[in-house]
């Protein structure tokens, strides 16, 4: 970086490697008068570092004495917020995407400060590992009653030796469990049983989720009338909606239903169930648009990420007289973007400049890679998808949606503000499933004394 080693950190600074980043921030910290530590980091599937947070060594809070017989070592941390966030760009360089310079403690320039570059293991984790290592292979308490007294200084007669059962016989007879008592380490049978229990749990969870989706689909279809133009996207829930409408068409309860599909898959499924598919240019408006999302907040702001067809879906939703959102209760969140990135559709020729602008907005962008082919995900419109994470969540969805879309080269993004008119939420209440609107769901959550822990 040349003279950049002595500059104050700023958004947009570029480094060739993580070693150069650490060396620069170390020199800057020693000059200003504080220590540094690597607060967190992220790696891709290949183990390559893609995101780093270097912070003041005084970050975090003092660790008090818990109400137990263990006493934690006292620290002098001040919960300092000073840090720099860096993200790996497509050229293999690290960009600074966020900077906090203010410290809440006294700085001591010229003094040697410790640098911590790895998180230390917790006290209990280290003690647990040490205990397992010391335990090793412990003899079963009934060892002597099974195998007799060990042959030592006393002379043993040939007859007594013949009466002693051999280790090999016990092993061949399947008595390996007699050699060692349980030390907390899983055996092959235990692992197999755990996998079976986990498989059953996942199957039960999937069945439970399918039940919620089925309830949502039936509630949604009840709003459809003959002669309507409906908008449908992709996803298991919307596939169930199409299937339910197809059943009603076959039974003669619905007719003349036209479907506007947001992608090839939804149009193919709609035709399979007897609906006429039309193009957006062939209709003036859409009577009802059904949609699903990855997250919805209490103000009906939506976040779509996984489908990679949010651009067309947003057009269909905006054309609809009524946009109805179908979600399970787990997708209702207090703040968007805390766990799900924002999907941004980008023109392929503009990826690099768009990435730089997204970093300037405080995001951590990553080009989405395809799972079943080499290269990036390509949308139905021939564009690329960039997933942008916001570590602190999305404070103002409407402003962020507008700011992202104003970047030249961006087609659209996965934030939907002021689109959904009705949000139907499926909730499991004991053995029953209830479908209610978002307002009713929030009233129930707020009325619960533990509601704050749900968000």
Per the CB < 8 A criterion, the answer to whether 409 and 346 are in contact is: yes
pTM of whole model > 0.75?
no
- Quick one: angle between helices 188-221 and 236-250, nearest 10? 50
pLDDT above 70 as % of the chain: 71
Per the CB < 8 A criterion, the answer to whether 313 and 323 are in contact is: no
Q: What is the pLDDT of residue 155?
A: 45
Q: What is the pLDDT of residue 265?
A: 83
Give 441's pLDDT tier (boundaries 50, 70, 90). confident
The more confidently predicted of residues 51 and 115 is: 51
The more confidently predicted of residues 61 and 100 is: 100
Give the best-scoring range by mean pLDDT among 31-35, 38-42, 196-200, 399-403.
399-403
Residue 405 predicted with pLDDT over 90:
yes
One DSSP character per residue, 126-145 reads HHHHHHHHHH-SPBPTTHHH
Give 189's pLDDT tier (boundaries 50, 70, 90). low
Give 147's pLDDT tier (boundaries 50, 70, 90). very low
Secondary structure class of 423 (helix, strand, coil): strand
Q: What is the pLDDT of residue 287?
A: 92
Q: What is the pLDDT of residue 442?
A: 83
Give 140's pLDDT tier (boundaries 50, 70, 90). very low
- pLDDT tens sequence across 110-128: 676 666 655 444 444 444 5
Alpha helices in 173-280 (DSSP H): 188-221, 236-250, 264-272
The more confidently predicted of residues 58 and 453 is: 58
Nearest Cα neighbor of 340 from 285, 379, 313, 301 is 301
Q: What is the pLDDT of residue 13?
A: 86
Q: What is the pLDDT of residue 209?
A: 76
Give the best-scoring range by mean pLDDT among 107-121, 144-158, 385-399.
385-399
Residue 206, judged by CB atoms within 10 A of its CB (0-12, 13-18, 19+), counts as exposed
Q: What is the pLDDT of residue 228?
A: 92
Give 449's pLDDT tier (boundaries 50, 70, 90). very low
CA end-to-end span of the chain, whole Å? Answer: 43
Average pLDDT of the residues of the chain: 77
Which is it for strands 295-296 and 302-303: parallel, antiparallel or unpaired?
Answer: antiparallel
Distance CA 306, CA 263 (A): 14
Residue 77 predicted with pLDDT over 50:
yes
Instruction: Kindly state the average pLDDT of the residues 416-438.
Output: 85
- pLDDT tens sequence across 252-281: 899 889 999 888 888 888 888 888 899 888
Which is it for strands 342-346 and 320-328: parallel, antiparallel or unpaired?
Answer: unpaired
Instruction: Kindly state the average pLDDT of the residues 372-379.
Output: 83
pLDDT above 90 as % of the chain: 19
Per the CB < 8 A criterion, the answer to whether 263 and 378 are in contact is: no
- pLDDT tens sequence across 210-248: 888 889 999 999 999 999 999 988 888 888 999 899 889
Least confident of 61-65, 296-300, 369-373, 377-381: 61-65
Distance CA 265, CA 402 (A): 29
Instruction: Kindly state the average pLDDT of the residues 137-146.
Output: 47
Q: What is the pLDDT of residue 4?
A: 45
* Residue whose structure tokens are 């900077």: 99
Residue 154 predicted with pLDDT over 90:
no
Least confident of 55-64, 124-133, 395-404: 124-133
- pLDDT tens sequence across 304-358: 887 788 888 899 988 889 989 999 888 898 889 888 899 999 999 999 999 999 9
The more confidently predicted of residues 372 and 437 is: 437
Q: What is the pLDDT of residue 386?
A: 93
Q: What is the pLDDT of residue 152?
A: 44
Give 70's pLDDT tier (boundaries 50, 70, 90). very low
């Amino acid at each position: 970086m040349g003279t950049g080693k002595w500059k104050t950190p700023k958004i947009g600074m570029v480094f060739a490697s993580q070693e150069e980043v650490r060396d620069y921030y170390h020199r800057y910290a020693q000059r200003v008068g504080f220590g540094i530590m690597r607060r967190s980091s992220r790696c891709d599937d290949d183990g390559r570092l893609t995101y780093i947070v270097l912070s003041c060594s005084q970050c975090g809070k003092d660790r008090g004495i818990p109400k137990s017989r263990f006493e934690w070592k006292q620290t002098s941390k001040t919960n300092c917020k000073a840090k720099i966030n860096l993200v790996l760009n497509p050229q293999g360089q690290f960009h600074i995407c966020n900077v906090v310079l203010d410290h809440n403690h006294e700085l001591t320039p010229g003094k040697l400060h410790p640098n911590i570059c790895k998180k230390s293991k917790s006290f209990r984790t280290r003690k647990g590992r040490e205990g397992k290592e010391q335990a090793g292979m412990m003899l079963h308490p009934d060892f002597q009653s099974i195998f007799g007294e060990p042959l030592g200084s006393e002379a043993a007669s040939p007859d007594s030796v013949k009466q002693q059962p051999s280790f090999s016989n016990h092993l061949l007879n399947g008595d390996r469990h007699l050699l060692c008592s349980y030390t907390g380490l899983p055996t092959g049978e235990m692992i197999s049983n755990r996998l079976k229990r986990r498989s059953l749990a996942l199957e039960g969870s999937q069945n439970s989720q399918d039940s919620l989706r089925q309830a949502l689909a039936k509630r949604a279809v009840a709003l459809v009338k003959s002669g309507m133009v409906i908008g449908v996207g992709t996803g298991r829930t919307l596939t169930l909606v199409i299937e339910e409408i197809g059943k009603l068409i076959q039974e003669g309860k619905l007719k003349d239903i036209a479907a506007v599909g947001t992608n090839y898959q939804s149009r193919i499924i709609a035709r399979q169930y007897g609906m006429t598919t039309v193009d957006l240019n062939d209709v003036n408006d859409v009577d009802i648009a059904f949609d699903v999302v990855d997250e919805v907040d209490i103000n009906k702001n939506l976040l779509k990420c996984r489908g990679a067809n949010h651009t067309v879906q947003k057009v269909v939703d905006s054309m609809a007289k009524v946009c109805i959102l179908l979600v399970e209760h787990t997708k209702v969140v207090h703040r968007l973007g805390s766990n799900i990135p924002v999907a941004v559709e980008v023109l392929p020729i503009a990826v690099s400049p768009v990435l730089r602008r997204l970093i300037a907005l405080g995001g951590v962008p990553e080009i989405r890679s395809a799972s079943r082919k080499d290269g990036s995900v390509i949308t139905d419109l021939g564009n690329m998808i960039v997933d942008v994470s916001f570590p602190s969540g999305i404070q103002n969805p409407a402003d962020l949606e507008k700011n992202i879309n104003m970047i030249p080269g961006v087609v659209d993004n996965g934030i939907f503000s002021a689109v959904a008119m009705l949000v139907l939420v499926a909730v499991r209440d004991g053995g029953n499933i209830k479908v209610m609107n978002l307002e009713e769901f929030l009233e129930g959550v707020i009325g619960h004394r533990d509601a704050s822990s749900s968000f």
